Amino acid sequence: LPAFADVVAAAARLGPHIVRTPVVRSASFDARVGREVFFKCENLQTGGAFKYRGALNVLLQLDPAKTPLVITHSSGNHGNALALAARARGMRAIVVIPRDSARSKIAAIEAARRG
């Protein structure tokens, strides 16, 4: 399992490369559920999901000269995140997509790969 030092190291690696997304609150939602709720707006992150952080964190630890190609299987956000992160690092990405994936997800992955 990752230690706290691993999280700190990942944050340092990612800092210059990601969108610092806001945390917001909603008083009406808090009242509805009877608790304080905090929303982390990762929909504003590159690729529209938190998965970009994980994909980019891994690729930032690889040397593109030694690992010019990455491959994954995904029906959506992870494939899109890996394609975007690979492009940012100057690497190629292959995303194996199930045939029954949503067309919008496939289009996003294809667009991420093309740039």
75 is catalytic: yes
C-beta of residue 22 within 8 angstroms of C-beta of residue 43? no
- Identify the active-site residue in 26, 28, 40, 51: 51
Q: Which residues contact 50 (CB under 8 A, 6 or more apart)?
A: 40, 42
C-beta of residue 44 within 8 angstroms of C-beta of residue 22? yes
101 is catalytic: no
Q: For residue 48, which of 92, 108, 101, 2 has the smallest C-alpha distance?
A: 108
Rounded to whole angstroms, how far apart are CA atoms 88 and 106? 19
Q: How many other CB atoms are there within 10 angstroms of residue 85's CB atom?
A: 26
- Identify the active-site residue in 26, 75, 101, 104: 75
Catalytic residues: 51, 75
